[in-house]
Amino acid sequence: ADGYYEYTMAECVYSTSDYSDMVYLQSYSFNKVVYEQYNSTVGKFVGFTEVGVKYAENFNKDQAILQQLKAEVDTFCRHNAQILDSAVRDKA
C-alpha cells in the first residue's frame, strides 16, 4: 500500500484490417501518471511532466533507440496482430 508504482506499457493501436494505420505506443508511468511516451507516428518521445520532458529530450538524442522503437510497428505490432486476428477469424 505504501510505496511507489512504476511501469511501462507497450500497445499497438489500429482500426483497419490492412494495418495501414497501426501505431506503436510505449508509455512510462509513475504512480499512475504517464510522464513520457514514445509514439511511432510522431517518431520520438514526448514528455508530459517536468521529469518526462527531460527524459524525452535525452532519449530523442539516441537515434539507435528511436530506430529500434519505430521498427516495433512491424516486428511487434503487425506480427502479433496478424497472428491474433487470424486466430479470431478462424474461430468465427
- Long-range contacts of residues 64-67, Cβ cutoff 8 Å, at least 24 apart: none
More reliable by pLDDT, 2 or 75? 75
**DSSP annotation string for 30-58:** ETTEEEEEEETTTTEEEESSHHHHHHHHH
User: pTM of this prediction?
Assistant: 0.86
pLDDT confidence of residue 87: 77
CATH 3.40.190.10 fits 6-87, yes or no: no
pLDDT above 70: residue 11: yes
Question: What is the distance between the terminal CA atoms of the chain, rounded to a whole angstrom?
Answer: 43
Q: What are phi and psi of 48, to 5 degrees?
A: -110, -10
Q: Is the distance from CB of 44 to CB of 38 less than 8 angstroms?
A: yes
